Each structure stands twice: as C-alpha cells, then as structure tokens.
Structure 1
Amino acid sequence: MWYVSLDYINHQTSLTADQARHDPDGKIRYVIGERDPGLANWLERTGHRRGYLQIRWQRLTRPLGPGDGPEVEVMRFEDLPSRLPYHDRQRVGPGGVGGQDRRPAGRRRPKDAGLMPLKDRVVVISGVGPGLGRGLALRCAAAGADVVLAARGEERLAAVAEEVAALGRRAVPVRADVTDEASRRRLVATALETCGRVDGLVNNAFAMPPMTDLVDVDLDAVRAAFETNVLAALRLTQLFAPALAENAGSVVMINSAVLRHSRRTFGVYKMAKASLLALAQSLATELGPRGVRVNSVAPGYIWADNLKRYFEALARRRGVPARQVYDETAATLDLRRLPEPDEIADAAVFLLSPLARAITGQCLDVNCGEWHH
C-alpha cells in the first residue's frame, strides 16, 4: 500500500515504512490504492508544489486502520486532486495554484527551474541506506538522473533501486565496501560500463566514530572512523575524477552540523567531519581547473528512522510522549521543526546541478536554523 500525506506547506512528518503514526497536526491522510503514485510531474500538473500544499507519499508494510489517524480514505490516485481538503478554484486548479495563469505571455509564472535539473545525468551515491541515502537516490531520480547506488547490504540496495525504477529512472545497485580498494575500483568500473558516464558523486558513506572524550579515546578506533568518513571519500573522488572531468561534473560531500559546535564526546566526530570539509575545499581548488566542482552539505538533525528511535528511547526514559521530545527539540530551531531526508537531499541535488554551476568549495548548512554560519 502507498499513502499520501496532505497538509499546508509547513507539514513536517510522513509515516515510516514500518509504522503508521498520527500526523502531529491532526490533518487528513489518504491511502492511494496498491500502486506507487510515482511521477513527480503529477505534482506540477495539479499545481501543489508551487504554493499552499505539500504532498508526500511512501510505501506501507501494513494496511491502515481507524487508529492511525483522524481520517483514512482509499481512492484512485487520479481522483485525489478533486478530493483534497483545500481544493478550490482560488487555491488549486487545472492551471496550478491560483487557477489557470491568464496573465500575458511575457508575464506568466516561470516554470519550476527545479523540475529536472539533473535530466539524463548519472549520479553515484555511496552509503545508500534507509534514511538520507535513500532520500538522495530518490531526489536525484526525481530530478531526472540515473543513479548508481553503493552500499554493503544487497537487500537495502534492491529496495531503493526498486523505488528509483518506479520514478522512471535507471538504478544500478552495486554491493560495495568503500574502505576496500578492490570494491571501490569495481564500483567505478560498473558505473562506467553500465552508464557510460558519471556526472555526479555523492560521498555519503558514514561510520559512527567512537563517542568518547579525546583524552581517553582509542587511536585505532579513530583510524577506523577516518578510513570510512574521510579517506574513502578521498579515494572515491580520486577514482571518479577523470570521468567527472569529462562532463564538468560535481562532487558533494555529506558533512554534519558537528562542524558548528564543540561538545564533549563529539571530538572524534568533529575531527573526521572537519577533515572532510578541508578535503572538499582542497579538492575544489585542485579539480576546479578541470571543470569539476566540489561542495559540502552539512545537515543538523535528520528526521528519519534512527532519530525517531532515539527520541522514542528518550521519551520512554522520561515517561513522556515521543512527540514532546520532538517539540522540545524543534523549539530550539528557527523554523520550529527538524529537517527531513528529502530536504537535505534537495540541497545536494542543487549542488550537483547546473543551477550551482558557479559554486565550489562551499558548505551548505541544512538545519532549519539550528546553527547560523
């Protein structure tokens, strides 16, 4: 089953793949048949991306019931626009939000520049998992790219590849360990043999470093963290550099908001991410003359399964609802909400695309205003 969640543009949450939850604002959710709604262009055809409404969909692993929300309704996907709770001629109509655009041709609303900014490009993504890795794959595909997906887990790769295919783009899953040289070379060879080119590389692979004070940390554990979080990103960029140079390509390093603070036990984490930032900036200088851009995205909180489980554990420990933990955390952010994987992935899509053609050596923070930089 697939569901679509509807709300005004500040809508925050969606159901996880394994558990349906109440929308925190109590608005309506619709479940749409047995097939993937797919087609990002559907949003443009009905106009909802341009204004008042935000729509998200996701696969469910069990049917919804009365306990899952204020209202659950099953209908045909194509009937959805006319059943929207906010559907009226002034807001959503055949011509998009605000109805048909009747202004003179020279003054009409511009087309959404982000519809297909990666059309027919090939993007390689390492560290494809159920959270941000999946979001990166799907947002790149929605932006028109074919994607080469690298991770150690075959099952996870197959699941994300299936979702990419449902968006009408090619997915090439490659079981790879980015810390192993033979595995890295196999990834590069597979990408080039299968797709013929590479236009973008997203270094998203991550290994949790030891969370302990630096004065006590085991140096072998530090070396292991750097192997995945820094050196693997360097080596993959080295190996893909010739192909990227052929197509004026782009590299995006997934960094972290740990760059912006110094807290106890986060020392090794910050060391690794600061090194990754320095790596990205130095590569931007080295690869710039070859036409390759290198940038970083630094997320703060990511409202995905791992963080949800952590908040649930905190809530159980305190004897409060998980929603309270979320609200207390969100209250410290300017936008009063936590970023979701797709929102971080969209920043990476921007940096991969020609829209960012004059941007290199930069770090884009995506944290809903948690830190200012």
Structure 2
Amino acid sequence: MRWLRTTIVIGFAIGLGIGYACAGEFDSILCWRNIGPYRGGRTRAVCGVASQPNVFYMAPVNGGVFKSIDYGRTWRPIFDDQPTASIGAIAVAPSNPSVVYVGSGEGLHRPDLSIGDGIYKSTDAGNTWTHLGLRNGQQIAQLVVDPKNAERIFVAVAGHPYGPNEERGVYRSLDGGKTFEKVLYGDENVGASDVQIDLGNPQVVYAALWESREAPWENGVFHGDGGGIFKSTDGGNTWRQLGKGLPGHIVQANIAIAASTAKTLFAAVRTKTIAKLYRSDDGGETWNGPTDDPRPGLGIGGGDLPVVRFDPKNPQIVYSASVVCWKSTDGGKTWDGWRGAPGGDDYQNVWINPNNPDVIL
C-alpha cells in the first residue's frame, strides 16, 4: 500500500503543477499540443476552411498534402497519387470550400530544396486532383483565391531556383486555372515570393517580387535587388511599386493585410544587409518600422523570411512565424515569444480562422 500512497501523492503533485502552470506564466508552453502529422518536417503550406473549423489542410515541403476533418486529431494523405510531393502553397476557395488549389514546389530557396510541376486543383475537397499548368515554374511560393469567385486566382511563381527562366512572376487565372496570364514580371531572374488579395475589395492585390538564385554548392545563394512590393487596384491589370518608408534594393518580402482594416498592412522585408518588419496604415502608400525589436523580423531556421499574419478581428494583434512564433498585441510595437520549443525552431506559417481567431493552425 505504501507504493500506492506514493503514486497517488506524486500524481496529485504533478497534477497541481500542471494546473498551476497552465493557469500561470507557463500557459503558452504546457497547454499546447502537437496535432501532427508526426515528423512532418518544415511546413510552408497550411490552410483551414473558415466555414468548417474542424477541417485543415497542410503539406510538408516534400511530403504531399494531408487533410484533417477532426480539428487536427488525425490526418490523412490525399495527394499520394500525384507525381510530385513538393508543396509550397494551399488555398481553399472561401465561396466554395470544395474547391482547393495546391501549388507545387516548396517556394523556398535553400540548399535542400525540392521542386514541383505547377498547380493542381480539386473540386471535391481533395478527393481527386487535376493538374492545371505552370509546370515550368518549379516553385510556387503562394496562391490566393478571390473570396467571392472560386475561378479567380493569383499565383506567386518563384521560378527555377538554379537558373533563369521565363515562367516566373505573378500569374492570374479568371477561369479556375484553365488558362493563366502573367500580370507582374521583372525578368527571367526575378520571381515572386508572395501575393495577397484584399478580402473586402478583391480588385486590390498586393504582390512581392524576389530575385534570388541557389548555387550548385551547399549554402551558396546569390541575391539581386530586383525585388519589391507592388500594388494593383484594378484586379491585376496594372501595378505600381510601393516604396515610401521602405528600404531600397529589396531582395524579398512577405505581405499581410488586416482583414478588419484593409488599409493596414505588415511586410517582412529583406535586403542584402537587413531583415525587418514594416507597417503601413494607408494601403501601402507609406511605411514605418513599428518596433526596435529585431527578433520577429529575423530569418527562420534555414534563413527563410518570416511570414506575418493579422488577427482577422483585431489589427492590433499580429503574429510573426520565425525562429519562434512571435505575437504582438499593440500593433507591432512590442513582441513576445508566443510559441517555441519544444516543437522546433522553424515556424514557417500561421493560418487563423477568419470567423474565429481562436482557431489557429
């Protein structure tokens, strides 16, 4: 009986400790749980379904696409029959959650990258897939769907990581991917790292160009200054570069739009010498560095630029996925480590349910 009493006491003490920690300052550490898939590796492509909060999609950069229909408790591979497993982006059409687009090729430049073969589409929530095009783009960094029209999509194509090619830049499709039109382009050396649609006014589109090339040897990378942040107010027909308050000679940028206040933007920006966060409150006309804290703007594990996301209901709450996941509750002035180890040091993306900001993937 002595061992039984000892076990009960120890168990009670552990229970008290966990209860106290979850209610106190260690809440962010002890109350998180890994929902899998186990050993997924770095994951850039994550997405949920706003109208179905139990449904998530995710794709490790070289592991195919997985789907969960039980809030992440279990995951099922749904892309294994396709000829590529390298994934850079996933998007679900807000107006029709049965329509899912997948961009193959991980969209990151690093020595251990994997390439893909273009865009795929499912019209039955991932049960079957059709290859659409952009096969020679090799790396799809981002894709977004018009919130009111599942047939209208924009794609950020990074292009060949080891050499020049023409199939790179920002592409638009108005017919669900049957055809693609190149709408923003630098040259054969400049790809696109991001594209975002204003959910309140889909005619407003932001995009970032990126000039980078990998060398054939380990950790050899060459950056040019042909990148930058661009804005279209006519649905992608014409574009102009945004720059007031931003550094010159931008290499790469990632963009976030506040759903609740569409003129409020955040951008993670890299030049050859700095990586930093910038904020705009006038639709990108002017920018400022809201914080002196360098941490949320630093490169992720392999040097990848952080991804920034807004709380969809409160533009003062901002997240930065970096070495850890950072959170600001004052519009980016101050930041706290919100999610870190255990769990890795390579947080590549954040998805927040636009209807319920408490659901975060």
Of Structure 1 and Structure 2, which has the larger fraction of its residues in strand? 2
* Shorter-normalised TM range: 0.3 to 0.5
Give me the TM-score of the superposition, normalised by structure 1: 0.32
For normalisation by structure 2, the TM-score amounts to: 0.32
Q: Which has the higher contact order (CA 8 A, sep 6+)?
A: 1
